[in-house]
Amino acid sequence: MTLETSTRLLKLTGIGTILFGLAMVLALVSPLKPVFDIFLDLVHLPLDGQQALEGDSARVLAAITGGLMVGLGALTWCIAVHVYAKDAETGGRIILIGVMAWYVPDSFGSYMVGAWFNVVLNTGFLAMFVLPVLLHRSARRSLTA
């Protein structure tokens, strides 16, 4: 994968992460709430309608989480544009460390509270960050070998 393609995918991942975070925050005050109720029910399989974005504590955690997702997306965008596009090795290392620092505790905590399907969803999300970096790194090594 070329550096240009990898950078473009990381920028798209950043935008997608920002949009997900904004949707999470907007779910607190808009018609998006039922969508996030379904998402919460999904991560706590089976789909039984038992989980919802209810209660002050859940709502403030959704606000915090949504804000962190917006921040992660913005950070990914900035790293992709200002670091990764110029120094793929350093930028890629920063992105990989950052997303693993999110993935491991998020997935562990989700599993421990019975939301095991969130680990599956997290893994898909992780791939959006990791694959562009690893595929470019692999292609670059193939060219120099």
The secondary structure of 32-53, three-state, reads CHHHHHHHHHHHCCCCCCCCCC
* Cβ–Cβ under 8 Å, residues 100 and 51: no
Bigger pLDDT: 144 vs 48: 48
The pLDDT value recorded for residue 142 is 81
pLDDT digits (tens, 9 = 90+) for 82-103: 999 999 999 999 999 999 999 9
Question: Span 125-139, mean pLDDT?
Answer: 95
Assign 143 a pLDDT band (cuts: 50, 70, 90): confident
Percent of the chain exceeding pLDDT 90 equals 89
Taking every pair of C-alpha atoms in the chain, what is the biggest distance, in angstroms? 57
- CA dihedral for 124, 35, 78, 104, sign (positive or negative): negative
Residue with tokens 């990989």: 96
Q: Enumerate the domain spans of the chain.
A: 3-144
Within 8 A by CB and 6+ apart from 97, the residues are none
pLDDT digits (tens, 9 = 90+) for 1-27: 999 999 999 999 999 999 999 999 999
Percent of the chain exceeding pLDDT 70 equals 99
What CA–CA distances, in Å, run from 104 to 16, 59, 88, 117, 119? 20, 23, 23, 14, 9
The pLDDT value recorded for residue 90 is 97
pTM, 2 dp: 0.90
* Cβ–Cβ under 8 Å, residues 98 and 75: yes
